[in-house]
Structure 1
Amino acid sequence: MTTTSHTHDQRISPVFLGITAVAAVSGWAVWTGFASSPGLAVFLFVTLAWVISLCLHEYAHARTALYGGDITVGAKGYLSLNPLAYTHALLSIVLPVIFVIMGGIGLPGGAVFIERGRIRGRWRHSVISAAGPLTNVLFAIVCTAPFWLDALDGVPTDFRFALAFLALLQVTAAILNFLPVPGLDGYGVIEPWLSYKIKRQVEPFAPFGLLFVFALLWLPAVNNTFFDVIDAILKSLGISDLDTYCGQELYRFWQGTNEFCSVSG
């Protein structure tokens, strides 16, 4: 009975499978130019691929927590990759998608509730926190592979632009998540190594950490520096400013695509 229950808890959700299927179809439409509106196909492909990465991010937290000693994550649905099972679906899925649409930035989402009291060892706590953003790093590597492997021959222009924009989202999500700010995964990595006094002093600010980061990003100097870092990372991986610009232009198809980016091939 217990084995059956554990197997059921870890079964991939039909919701996630459906999201993946639609993402695959929209990606195919971008690749083949099948869609009458390439922008709409790019929008669907990038948005759903972004949601998939969010699910994998939270799954990584939950899976490492399971190995670390929190056996409750399965019963909570965290191992099913179902975004509807998250503690805060609004914060984990809806808001990150809205931020992508509005600003083209990968918003970190905190969703799975880990029972930290079940986990022993500071290293285990740090690994659980790091697992999520490391998933974004892995996703970014996959998206950028055709660029840094110089394997773009035969890749349609629109699909290349879509991959570049998706890579930008993954890199921004990874960097933001790794910031040592209360409430973000980066702080979760170092928190087990802090003194009890420091943790008590910082704890009240945890709910506002993400808001603080985005308030800073509204400052032109901080925003410019942040995206200079993002651009430098992407350039080192073979992705140009033009690739990410045109990817975002195609993604925001409702604004009309810049003719400079509208040539498919």
Structure 2
Amino acid sequence: MSYGRYTDRVARLPREAFRPSPIFLGLVVLFVVTGWMTWAGFGNLKINVFMFVAAGWTISLCLHEYAHAVVAFKGGDHDIAHRGYLTLDPLKYTHPLLSIVLPLVFVLLGGIGLPGGAVWVNHAAVRSRFVDSLISFAGPATNLLLAVVLVLPFSLGVAESSHLEFWAALAFLAFLQLTASVLNFVPMPGVDGGNLLYPWLSPQWQRGFNHVAPYGMLLLIALLWSPVINAWFFGGVQWIGDVLGMPSNYVSMGYGLFKFWSF
């Protein structure tokens, strides 16, 4: 496709294809308001922390999927915009159950930032194998960037003993981002890490990959139930968190506050 035809096609896209959805904007408002309530000690503390972390985690899931979509759009799949993926609307994703609901359930049950299902991409329209890999890389890289940003107040010494509950909730949210990025980078079929390698595999290996990919997420979940693998995983996440400056005691406190149903 020539550059002129490309620019004409992009120019014909409605502005709504790039405008943040009301659902996403509502999540941002909820995140800010419950964050302020947690900071100010207004209302029920545990409910505030729960809503603050849940809203922040859902926003990060939207940004994760948006990162996949925007790189795919820049890389040649312009139909991404028509599918609504660039509006940050969680209801537009191919697998809202895998992308939003299941990750939220795992946060509720075990405090694990489970990776979601990727947006649907027309890989035949993507310009190169490198860009194809970059599409898969963009999602977990976004989670890692968010983890670094959320840890900055602790690594820079900005977080103080006052407003302890707010800082604990922020640390737990950073922890979720870190677990999501580590899980997503696992080189397993059906996960972003495996999809990153897929364009470089031989046709024979790609056929085998496609057979395993639908069950990759379930296999990853099953592996986390193993005490040995679970210990390795959380040990690795804690090590990375220590390097970044993430205080483990704040993370534990934040998770305790997040579980408003426990006493």
Q: TM-score, normalised by structure 2?
A: 0.94
- Structure 2 distance, partners of 1:241, 1:5, is 46
1:40 paired with 2:47, answer yes
Measured after TM superposition, the shift of residue 120 of structure 1 is 2.2
1:126 to 122, 125, 133: 133
Out of 231-240 and 164-173, give the one that drifted further: 231-240
2:26 to 18, 22, 28: 18
- On the 8 A contact 1:89/1:111 being kept in 2, the answer is no
- On the 8 A contact 1:6/1:74 being kept in 2, the answer is no
| Equivalent residue letter for 1:236 | V
- Structure 1 distance, partners of 2:228, 2:114, is 19
Q: TM-score, normalised by structure 1?
A: 0.93
What residue in structure 2 maps to residue 60 of structure 1? 67
Out of 230-239 and 105-114, give the one that drifted further: 230-239
Measured after TM superposition, the shift of residue 241 of structure 1 is 2.4
| Equivalent residue letter for 1:16 | F
- On the 8 A contact 1:136/1:173 being kept in 2, the answer is yes
2:14 to 6, 16, 21: 6
What are structure 2's unaligned runs of at least 5 residues? 1-7
1:162 paired with 2:169, answer yes
1:184 to 191, 202, 217: 191
- Structure 1 distance, partners of 2:25, 2:161, is 28
Measured after TM superposition, the shift of residue 250 of structure 1 is 0.1
What residue in structure 1 maps to residue 254 of structure 2? 247
- Structure 1 distance, partners of 2:210, 2:118, is 18
* Off by >6 Å, runs of 4+ in structure 1: none
| Equivalent residue letter for 2:14 | H
2:239 to 191, 212, 232: 232
1:79 to 83, 86, 89: 86
- On the 8 A contact 1:180/1:190 being kept in 2, the answer is yes
| Equivalent residue letter for 2:34 | S
Measured after TM superposition, the shift of residue 90 of structure 1 is 1.1
Measured after TM superposition, the shift of residue 191 of structure 1 is 1.1
Measured after TM superposition, the shift of residue 153 of structure 1 is 3.0
The 1:155–1:143 alpha-carbon spacing in structure 2 relative to 1, beyond 3 Å, is farther
Please tell me the root mean square deviation across aligned C-alpha atoms, in Å: 1.4
What are structure 1's unaligned runs of at least 5 residues? 257-265
Q: Secondary structure of the equivalent of 2:81? A: coil
Identity %: 47
- On the 8 A contact 1:147/1:237 being kept in 2, the answer is no
Measured after TM superposition, the shift of residue 151 of structure 1 is 1.3
Q: Secondary structure of the equivalent of 1:114? A: coil
Deviations, residues 62-98 of structure 1 (Å, cap 9, x unaligned): 0000000000011100000000111111111111111
1:98 to 91, 95, 105: 105
- Structure 1 distance, partners of 2:233, 2:37, is 33
Deviations, residues 217-239 of structure 1 (Å, cap 9, x unaligned): 10111111111111111122222
- On the 8 A contact 2:68/2:118 being kept in 1, the answer is no
Deviations, residues 182-216 of structure 1 (Å, cap 9, x unaligned): 01110111111111111112210001111111111
Q: Secondary structure of the equivalent of 2:14? A: helix
What residue in structure 2 maps to residue 223 of structure 1? 230
What residue in structure 2 maps to residue 144 of structure 1? 151
2:204 to 189, 197, 200: 197
1:69 paired with 2:76, answer yes
Out of 1-10 and 63-72, give the one that drifted further: 1-10
- On the 8 A contact 1:31/1:155 being kept in 2, the answer is no
Q: Secondary structure of the equivalent of 2:186? A: coil
Q: Secondary structure of the equivalent of 2:116? A: coil
Measured after TM superposition, the shift of residue 158 of structure 1 is 0.3
Measured after TM superposition, the shift of residue 5 of structure 1 is 3.2
